[in-house]
Every structure is written in C-alpha cells, then in structure tokens.
Amino acid sequence: MASFWILAALMTVAALAFVLVPLLRGRPGAGISVRDSNLEVLRAQRREIDADVASGTLAPEARDEALAELMARASDDLEASPGEEPATIAKPWIVAGATALAMTALAFGMYAAVGNPGATDVKAIAKAADAHDDARIAEMVDSLARKMRERPDDARGWSLLARSYASLGRFKDAADAYEHLAKLVPDDPDVLADYADMLAMAQGRKLTGKPAELARAALKIDPDHRKALALAGTAALDAGDYAAARAHWQRLADGIPADSPERAQVLAVIDEVQQRAAVAGKPLAPAPLARAPKAAEKLAKAPEKAPKAAGAASVSGSVSLAPGMAGQVNGSETLFIFARAEGGPRIPLAVLRKTARELPLQFALDDTLAMTPELKISTAQAVRIEARISRSGDAQPRSGDLIGASSVVQPGARDVKIVVDKVVP
C-alpha cells in the first residue's frame, strides 16, 4: 500500500513539472524602449529632409537649418526618455502555487471519487479473497446437494454433503442430510452421533429430545463411542440426571490414556458434574474404579471416525490454546480444524469440527474428511493446517474468532503442532 502512494506522489510531481517549470521560467518583455522609439522617429525625419532636398522641394541652403532644428528637438526628446533595459516579466509564484495545489487536489479527489482506494489495503484484499472462496465453497456444496437429490441411495455422497453443511455452519441442512444418511446406514454409530450433534446445533445447542435419543442409540451399537458418550453425558447433565452424566463421562475418561491432555479435560468435566450435583442437593457417591489399563489402552487405539487417517494421505498432530487466550474461551465455541493446499485454492482439503472445551486435542485429517472429491489432501504437494475457534459456530471467519496455523507440511506429516494464539481483527 505504501509503495502505491509513493508511486502516485512521484507521478503527480512529474506532471506538475511539465506545467510549472515553463510557467516559472522568466521571459523577456515584449516591445522596445521609449528612447529607441524616439531615435527611430528622428532618423525617419532626417531621411525626409534629405529626400526633399534631392527632389528640389527644399532649398539646399535651408537643409542645414532644418537639420539644426531636428537636432534640437531630438536632444529634448532623448533627454526626456533616458535609455532603459527591456523589462522581464515577474515570475508568477502565486499562480504557480495555486496551480500545483489545484492539480494535486483534482488528481487525488478524482481517484477517491471514481477509483478504488480500498484496492491498496492488503487486509481488505485478503478479506475479499476469503469471501470469494467462501462463496465458491457454498456454491460447490449446493451443487453437491442437487446431485444427491438425484442419487438418494448414495451413502458416501450423503455423508460428504452432511459434513460439508456442518463445516459451513448450516446445521439444519446438515441435520437433514444426516437424517437421510441414517436411513441408509441405520446401524452406524458415527452417523447417529454426528446426526445428534448437528440436530442439537440446529436447535440452539440443546441436546434435549431427539439428539439425546440418537446419542443413546449410538451407544447401544457401540457403548464406548467417544462422541456419543460426550453427547449423552452432556444431555444427562442438562436434564439434571447427574448420576447418568457422571457415568457417561467416566466411561469416556476410562478409554483415554492417563497421560493424555484430553483425559484431564474429561476429568474436569466429571468434577463439574459432581459439584453441580452437590449444589442441587443430590450428592453423588464416590466414583467406581476405572477399568483395567489394558482395556483403556485398547479403547485408546480405537478413536472416533475423524482420526482414522493412515499413510501419506493424512496429516495428524495436536491443537492447543495459547495461555494468554484461555480467558477468551468458555468452551462452548466451535473449533474448526482444516487443511489448505499451500499455494493453491483456499478451499479446505479436509475439515474437522470439534468444540473448544476439547482443547488441547489430537487430530487427524485425511481424504475421508474432504469437502469435494476433486480436492483432497492426497492431491496436494504441501499443506498448511489451520485451527479456528468460532464464537458464532459459523464456518466463515468472523471478527473476534481465535486462530492458529502450522508451518507448511507435506501429506503424511505427524506430530504437527498448532497453537491458537491470534484474534481475527
């Protein structure tokens, strides 16, 4: 932006030079002096006297008298008009200054009126590019939705559509897509848990009613499903069933390695459940012993669907919140983790949706989390992983969101660390 205005100023100065230099350069005055004019008149009168003598009009003896009279008159005229140098026109400084100000004001005023000053703002350009990319993503998802209406039995396509709606924050559309998908694969606990999550988001982040029923249905299929346990535990806590809430969260904690930061967060939730139960006058009995470490280790090796990444077509690592940002997060915000191709389109190659209360957490992004079949992690040479805590739950960046990004990595990278440490202006 600074280079643009410097160049504009230099061009304005150059234009002013073409106008002001000739204007300020001194010019000799036009015409001749009074003395020169008188001398020329006297010379002409002398030539007339000589002509009259030659033609006989004037007698030769009268010539000397006429010349004497002419010389006397010439002497008087020359003394009355002494010689003077040709005048030089004064340099018009006032006119030049007014011209310079007027031209400068006119140039920049016209640019402000008909130009695009915002085009020099780097932040505005980046924001416009993001808005354009968001519009392209929305258009692609709508196109996918039209295709899915023509292919009602394509479970993979409906799964992709549901995840795409979720990443855009279109929770009602996502819930509708998961409802259709649940009819195609009714015994998939991942689908039921995601359906419950999106339905809860669509009804104002409330798990009461059908979302809680879907979470319980997922647990009937897989009693150790991590996302379903978290949803069922939250639903029970909201309903005031503290014993059931602690049971769900405790089972979730038992399946997490003891040294994992995620386990510490789950245990903090269990403490909150017990405190709220005590405040409500329903104190809970001491928690039962955790399951055997071998069982916990087995469960830890079977995480929810999102981390099932393998090979060079995946990127995994961890996301954490910078210490200075902890006071700006209450835990209910939506956390988006996504991969973008470095040097390519800004459309995410893979998107994972979590909540801020799960931080710090481990993640894995692979081709199963792609938004379109054409753009996947496996098709990129290098990617950058970004994390954003959205206060609105919307996939589009908003002022006040918290963000963090990794360095550029290649597909297949492990232990990629992201620290959420910046605020979207």
CATH value at residue 177:
1.25.40.10
Q: Quick one: pLDDT at residue 389?
A: 93
Q: Is the pTM of this model over 0.75?
A: no
Total domains, the chain: 4
Q: Residue 190: pLDDT band by 50, 70, 90 thresholds?
A: very high
Report the range of poorest mean pLDDT among 60-64, 74-78, 334-338, 383-387.
Answer: 74-78
Rounded to whole angstroms, how far apart are CA atoms 275 and 40? 120
The answer to whether 227 touches 307, Cβ cutoff 8 Å, is no
Single out the residue in 265, 300, 335 at which a domain terminates.
300
| Any domain includes 29 | no
Q: Quick one: pLDDT at residue 219?
A: 95
Choose from 135-139, 287-291, 368-372, 376-380 the range with maximum mean pLDDT: 376-380
Containing structural domain, residue 156:
133-300
| Cα atoms in the 13 Å half-sphere on the side-chain side of 86 | 9
Choose from 62-76, 113-127, 236-250 the range with maximum mean pLDDT: 236-250
pLDDT tens by residue, 316-328: 999 999 988 888 8
- Is 288 in the same domain as 195? yes
C-alpha dist (Å) from residue 224 to 48, 218, 256 = 133, 9, 11
Single out the residue in 300, 319, 342 at which a domain terminates.
300
- Is 185 in the same domain as 58? no
Q: Residue 54: pLDDT band by 50, 70, 90 thresholds?
A: confident
The answer to whether 348 touches 336, Cβ cutoff 8 Å, is no
For residues 223-250, give the mean pLDDT.
Answer: 92
Rounded to whole angstroms, how far apart are CA atoms 179 and 172? 11
> Three-state SS for 370?
coil
Angle between helices 226-238 and 261-279 (to 10 degrees): 20
- Is 145 in the same domain as 40? no
- Is 138 in the same domain as 267? yes
Question: CA-based angle 17:19:24, to the nearest 5?
Answer: 85
Q: Other CB atoms closer than 10 Å to residue 399's CB: what's the count? A: 8
